[in-house]
Structure 1
Amino acid sequence: MTRLFNEPSAFADEMIDGFVAANSAQVRRVSGGVVRSTVSTPGTVAVVIGGGSGHYPAFGGIVGQGLAHGAAMGNLFASPSAQQVHSVAAAANLGGGVLLTYGNYAGDVLNFTAAQDRLNSEGIETRTVVVTDDIASAPLAEKHKRRGIAGDLTVFKAAAAASEAGYSLDEVVRVAELANERTRSFGVAFTGCTLPGAAEPLFTIPEGRMGVGIGIHGEPGIDETDVPTADGLAELFVSTLLSELPEGISSPDGQRAAVLLNGLGSVKYEELFVVYRRVAQLLEEAGVVIVEPEVGELVTSFDMAGASLTLFWLGTEEGSELERFWRAPADTPAYRKGSVGAVEQAAPAPTEALDAGLTENIPPATDDSRAAAAVAAAALQAIAEVIDENVGELGRIDAVAGDGDHGIGMQRGSRAASSAAVELLAVGSGARTLLQRSGDAWADRAGGTSGALWGVALRAIGDTLGDSDAASGAAVAAGVRGATTGILGFGAVVGDKTMVDALVPFADALEAGIAAGRPLTQAWADAADAATTAAAATAQLLPKMGRARPHAEKSLGTPDAGAHSFALIVQRIATVLKEQDSK
């Protein structure tokens, strides 16, 4: 379990601060993560990586000469927000364009894509390559749905080496895509991992048993077997990976490959070496030429006891492009290879405040809109309170088939939004400004899918209410409908076992109640009841999106965490509206 922490919701920020203090010769802090503290070649491509914290050395630990130029670092097991990704990429930009590359998870795709769109609109040419190396997470016919695990490193390394070689953005993208196509990984675990502040691990495996097909966020395996011997595990790893060769490689015989045996947190190096001994024997028997293998912790999951094997197929010829890039020197806090030569420290740069500009340039607002803003601020405070009361339960529900981060992510986001609302209310913000900027604060601090969705929701409602008019029931219903439309735009539909399953019935019931002439307080309360019923019904659904999708059957009987938290929130807001009516 994780024993050393202060406030669990502050763990990621404090970890990053300590990491930078310990490695200032190679990295410096920027809003949203870290970038190199050394001078890089102007005009080259900046490779920006990232994901949730809790996977050290991924992602900040592999920022430095010969590897990434920057890493956006989200909350524990949650993607960084779009603002964090944008901030890191803008700081890392060298003038040759930016490549964003990260593991293929819904929240990361959502937030990195939003950041890419913003960077391109600002004239910083930006492209994306997602890593999809985990063969257990989707069948070959749907390999675009596979998640990224320890194979992240091979893609990041190839792309960064191509940048160091002076390749254009198009060519760096080509290399990264080829590296991803040539990378395959497979993992197992013997125990689950425990997030800071949690009393129990995200999942458990019976003593003497092993979860097969494990992820890096505490996702349960897709199968379970007896724990094999070290040689037995090596045989499972090698036979599984050799059963699916990348396109263009018909046989392992004569192929050159980088081999990565990755510890997930609690398996000791000595154990990994025992396993690797047999891995190397089996690969050599199959005719594989092993090139600069890596054995150790590359992408971890807190205290999870487990391991994964990655094969990075380089081709048949010594000195091929991919092999040169794999062998290229690198010098980062957690990963070193060869010698990068003398490097120059970059000039110090000030750290941006996460809430910079929050209360700047406040648009004028009418008394009616400021009154609506006061109600919105009270609602946001109530949201933060109800999430605080249920944070443990939300994490427990999310851990059944996901990664258990929903509670802590919602807590960070709702607290940030409530604090922002207090500041904005004090300077006379109207409803639109207060909700939109509070939504941005939520998205930025929470990260992950939930952060992005609640950011969209608050922005949409604020946009409809404006800074001039009173908040009529019709305007609120229209804002909720706008929020629903925005969230549906991310691809989920009713029946996918997501927040949408509670949101859509809520929006429909609210509109119907307002259209029937009911006051907002009553229409909202009725809609909240509809959302609560719908959220409970998600227990009987199988997830079709997100990290829970590969473990669909495990979630039967448990409601979706996002739908459940939505129902809790709208019920608490119903209480706020009733209290406002009684004043």
Structure 2
Amino acid sequence: MSYVINDPTDFAEEAAAGFVAAHRSLVRRVPGGVARAGATPAGQVAVVIGGGSGHYPAFAGLVGPGLAHGAAMGDVFASPSAHRVHGVARAVASDAGVLLSYGNYAGDVLNFDAAEAQLHAEGIPCRTVRVTDDIFSAGREEREKRRGIAGDLTVFRAASWAAEAGHDLDGVFDLASHANERTRSLGVAFSGCTLPGAGEPLFTVPAGQMGVGMGIHGEPGIDIRPRPSADELGRMFVAELLAERPDDVPDARGARVAVVLNGLGAVKSEELFVIYGTVARELEAAGVVIVDPEVGEYATSFEMAGVSLTLFWLDDELERAWSSPAYAPAYRKGVVDAAAAAATEALDADTAEALDEDEPLIVAAGSEASIAAAGTVRRILDALRETLDAEADALGRLDAIAGDGDHGIGMQRGSRAAAAAAGHGQLAIAGAGTVLARAGDAWADQGGGTSGALWGAGLRAAGLRIGDAEAPDASAVAAAVDAARAVVQSAGKAEPGDKTLVDALVPFAESLRRRIDAGETLAAAWDGAAQDAQTAADATALLVPRLGRARPHAAKSVGTPDPGAISFALAMNAAARVLAARVLADKEET
């Protein structure tokens, strides 16, 4: 559990502020995260990493000379929004472009890809390398589906060294991709982790057992095995990883390998050294040459009692990258003249302030009818916030069965942000479409993760379809819902049957259109469609997940409905109550 907190919903923001205050000579705050204290030199590719909070020193602690130029920071265990990734990339981009790199999780993919598209649209060259080192999260034949865990470090080091060595964007991409292909990791956990303010861990491990192949966001292990001794654990790590050598390393004997033994929070340094002693003996017995091993905390999961081992199979160029100097708040190697680098790349005050400021809110006035409709939109968003606030713990427990347990708090953050954005004073003259779109942007930015990105994209699409010219009638609302459905399916790549929120969204959109075409009023049609969505959400208990973080734990989720589908149904029923109340109020007025 977390012992030192204020409001749990402010934890990530307060931690980021304290981190920057503690390392002002190395990092500065920028919209969406942190960046090196100095500007990126002209002609140097900027490396931007990122992910959820709760994993320190990943990701902010790995920003500095020899490592990343910037880190996008999400809320706890939630990917940073596309807006945050874009903000960090814009703050550090040079004329040479930007390389994005991050662990391969669905929410991160959605948001980083969206940011990359926006950077391209602005004329900033950009490429992406996703880290896929976790051997237990998918088979060899599906390596592109594997998660990124502590192997992030090796890929970030390779990319950053290539950037500072003067490689162009394609060269940085190639070396980072090569590093990823030569990185393999395996993790185990002896206990789960607990989100700030939560009373229970996201998962538990039976006494005397360990979870093998757990994720760093609180995902439970893919396999449960008896807890071994330190020697037995070290031998298991080495045996599993040697069997997973890269395709271009046919024989371990004589190979040069960087080793990262990572503690996930509660396993402390002396225990790691005990394990490392066995790891070193086993690797040397196999003829492996160990190069610059790292033993410590590099990608944590709050106080999870867990350990991971990473093997980074080197060639000459990768070894130069791995052994090169670095000077970041949480990772230092060799000798870097940080003071000289900061002086050479120093930002003047006006430039720094301009880079660190968000764009001002500019709002066009809507029609009188659309402004009135915006009032209903605000009441619906307030109802969503109240409902999802009340259900946050239950949704989190549902998500923890086969996912990472943060769905409830993510929906809570997103709905709060959307409602607050809709109520912004400068939106008082805005029409319904603008209010919906701004709410969607806020949901995506603060909700984080896959759900945050999809809800944000859906609300924005609905707002753009409705517009600000007139009050939407029932048919226009159905069209807006279908626009939201289309963008959610396009972005998330999910189909009905995949056990995602789409399993409730598609039936809702189809039912709403069918009922409105049959002549029902908007309130009646919405209520009926919301009930259909609830039925469909409940039915996901019978499905096996084919996408998202629950996919590696498919068997565990059978019998439990999908939390994304359930939260969607809850939200639509909350909106139905608002529409019904509006009808009643209209009758009373007449």
State the match for 1:533 in structure 2: 535
Instruction: Render the CA deviation track for 1:467-511: whole Å, top value 9, x for unaligned.
Output: 111220000001001111111112100011100000001001100
Q: Which residue, 518, 525, 547 being the options, matches 1:523?
A: 525
Shift of residue 96, structure 1, vs aligned partner: 1.0
Two-structure CA RMSD over aligned residues (Å) = 1.2
Q: Is 1:285 aligned to 2:285, yes or no?
A: yes
Instruction: Render the CA deviation track for 1:503-541: whole Å, top value 9, x for unaligned.
Output: 001001100110000000000000000000111111111
Distance in 2 separating the partners of 1:383 and 1:190: 37
Instruction: Render the CA deviation track for 1:30-64: whole Å, top value 9, x for unaligned.
Output: 11100000344321000000011100000000000
State the match for 1:577 in structure 2: 579
Tell me the SS of whatever aligns to 1:344: helix
State the match for 1:357 in structure 2: 360
State the match for 1:189 in structure 2: 189
Shift of residue 460, structure 1, vs aligned partner: 1.6
The 8 Å contact of residues 187 and 212 in structure 1, kept in 2 or not, is answered as: yes
Shift of residue 340, structure 1, vs aligned partner: 1.2
Which residue identity lines up with residue 68 of structure 2 in the other structure?
A
Q: Which residue, 482, 499, 502 being the options, matches 1:500?
A: 502
The 8 Å contact of residues 191 and 306 in structure 1, kept in 2 or not, is answered as: yes
State the match for 1:334 in structure 2: 330
State the match for 1:553 in structure 2: 555
Distance in 1 separating the partners of 2:432 and 2:503: 27
Which residue identity lines up with residue 525 of structure 1 in the other structure?
D
State the match for 1:253 in structure 2: 253
State the match for 2:380 in structure 1: 379
Distance in 2 separating the partners of 1:323 and 1:466: 55
Tell me the SS of whatever aligns to 2:353: coil
Tell me the SS of whatever aligns to 1:323: helix
State the match for 2:319 in structure 1: 323
The 8 Å contact of residues 262 and 307 in structure 2, kept in 1 or not, is answered as: yes
Tell me the SS of whatever aligns to 1:251: coil
The 8 Å contact of residues 499 and 543 in structure 2, kept in 1 or not, is answered as: yes
Shift of residue 207, structure 1, vs aligned partner: 1.3
Instruction: Render the CA deviation track for 1:159-194: whole Å, top value 9, x for unaligned.
Output: 100111111111000100100000000010000000
Instruction: Render the CA deviation track for 1:57-82: whole Å, top value 9, x for unaligned.
Output: 00000000100000000011111000
Which residue identity lines up with residue 331 of structure 1 in the other structure?
Y
The 8 Å contact of residues 506 and 528 in structure 1, kept in 2 or not, is answered as: yes
Distance in 1 separating the partners of 2:427 and 2:58: 40
Tell me the SS of whatever aligns to 1:48: strand
Q: Sequence identity of aligned pairs in percent?
A: 59
Distance in 2 separating the partners of 1:424 and 1:478: 28
State the match for 1:343 in structure 2: 341
The 8 Å contact of residues 31 and 351 in structure 1, kept in 2 or not, is answered as: no
Tell me the SS of whatever aligns to 2:423: helix
The 8 Å contact of residues 30 and 351 in structure 1, kept in 2 or not, is answered as: no
The 8 Å contact of residues 377 and 418 in structure 1, kept in 2 or not, is answered as: yes
Q: Is 1:448 aligned to 2:449, yes or no?
A: yes
Which residue identity lines up with residue 580 of structure 1 in the other structure?
R
The 8 Å contact of residues 136 and 213 in structure 2, kept in 1 or not, is answered as: yes
State the match for 2:132 in structure 1: 132
Distance in 2 separating the partners of 1:464 and 1:159: 41
- Matched length: 577
The 8 Å contact of residues 40 and 46 in structure 2, kept in 1 or not, is answered as: no
Which residue identity lines up with residue 202 of structure 2 in the other structure?
L
Distance in 2 separating the partners of 1:502 and 1:190: 35
What is the TM-score of this pair, normalised by structure 2?
A: 0.96
Distance in 2 separating the partners of 1:519 and 1:464: 20
State the match for 2:464 in structure 1: 463
Distance in 2 separating the partners of 1:271 and 1:142: 33
State the match for 2:514 in structure 1: 512
The 8 Å contact of residues 424 and 434 in structure 1, kept in 2 or not, is answered as: no
Tell me the SS of whatever aligns to 1:291: strand
The 8 Å contact of residues 374 and 425 in structure 1, kept in 2 or not, is answered as: no
Q: For residues 558 and 128 of structure 1, do their structure 2 counterparts lie closer, same or farther at Cα, with a shift above 3 Å needed?
A: same
Instruction: Render the CA deviation track for 1:348-407: whole Å, top value 9, x for unaligned.
Output: 42387887433x2x2231111011111001101111111111111111111111111111
Distance in 1 separating the partners of 2:427 and 2:39: 43
Distance in 2 separating the partners of 1:21 and 1:546: 36
Tell me the SS of whatever aligns to 1:546: coil
Instruction: Render the CA deviation track for 1:254-296: whole Å, top value 9, x for unaligned.
Output: 0000000000110010000000001000000101000000000
The 8 Å contact of residues 355 and 441 in structure 1, kept in 2 or not, is answered as: no
Q: For residues 169 and 352 of structure 1, do their structure 2 counterparts lie closer, same or farther at Cα, with a shift above 3 Å needed?
A: closer
Distance in 1 separating the partners of 2:332 and 2:109: 29
Q: How does 1:43-122 map to 2 (within 5 A)?
A: 43-122=43-122
Tell me the SS of whatever aligns to 1:79: coil
Shift of residue 411, structure 1, vs aligned partner: 1.1
Shift of residue 425, structure 1, vs aligned partner: 7.1
Distance in 2 separating the partners of 1:3 and 1:539: 35
Distance in 1 separating the partners of 2:154 and 2:427: 50
State the match for 1:35 in structure 2: 35
Q: For residues 407 and 235 of structure 1, do their structure 2 counterparts lie closer, same or farther at Cα, with a shift above 3 Å needed?
A: same
Distance in 2 separating the partners of 1:393 and 1:416: 20
Tell me the SS of whatever aligns to 1:293: strand
Distance in 2 separating the partners of 1:47 and 1:352: 17
Structure 1 stretch displaced more, 32-41 or 557-566: 32-41
Distance in 1 separating the partners of 2:219 and 2:354: 34
Query: Which ranges of structure 2 fall in alignment gaps of 5 or more residues?
Result: 586-590
Tell me the SS of whatever aligns to 1:521: helix
Instruction: Render the CA deviation track for 1:124-162: whole Å, top value 9, x for unaligned.
Output: 100001000000000000000000000000000011001
Tell me the SS of whatever aligns to 2:308: strand
Q: For residues 504 and 425 of structure 1, do their structure 2 counterparts lie closer, same or farther at Cα, with a shift above 3 Å needed?
A: farther
Tell me the SS of whatever aligns to 1:489: helix
State the match for 1:472 in structure 2: 473
State the match for 1:178 in structure 2: 178
State the match for 1:486 in structure 2: 487
Structure 1 stretch displaced more, 438-447 or 261-270: 438-447
Structure 1 stretch displaced more, 548-557 or 250-259: 548-557
Q: For residues 351 and 441 of structure 1, do their structure 2 counterparts lie closer, same or farther at Cα, with a shift above 3 Å needed?
A: farther
Distance in 1 separating the partners of 2:123 and 2:203: 45
The 8 Å contact of residues 208 and 227 in structure 2, kept in 1 or not, is answered as: yes
Distance in 2 separating the partners of 1:267 and 1:431: 52
Distance in 1 separating the partners of 2:525 and 2:209: 52
State the match for 2:370 in structure 1: 369
The 8 Å contact of residues 39 and 92 in structure 2, kept in 1 or not, is answered as: no
Which residue identity lines up with residue 81 of structure 1 in the other structure?
S
The 8 Å contact of residues 461 and 484 in structure 2, kept in 1 or not, is answered as: yes
The 8 Å contact of residues 25 and 38 in structure 1, kept in 2 or not, is answered as: no
State the match for 1:147 in structure 2: 147
State the match for 1:230 in structure 2: 230
Query: Which ranges of structure 1 fall in alignment gaps of 5 or more residues?
Result: none
Which residue identity lines up with residue 224 of structure 1 in the other structure?
I
State the match for 2:588 in structure 1: none
Shift of residue 95, structure 1, vs aligned partner: 1.8
Distance in 1 separating the partners of 2:336 and 2:144: 34
Tell me the SS of whatever aligns to 1:195: coil
State the match for 1:392 in structure 2: 393
The 8 Å contact of residues 49 and 70 in structure 2, kept in 1 or not, is answered as: yes
Distance in 2 separating the partners of 1:354 and 1:77: 25
The 8 Å contact of residues 425 and 434 in structure 1, kept in 2 or not, is answered as: no
Distance in 1 separating the partners of 2:356 and 2:532: 40
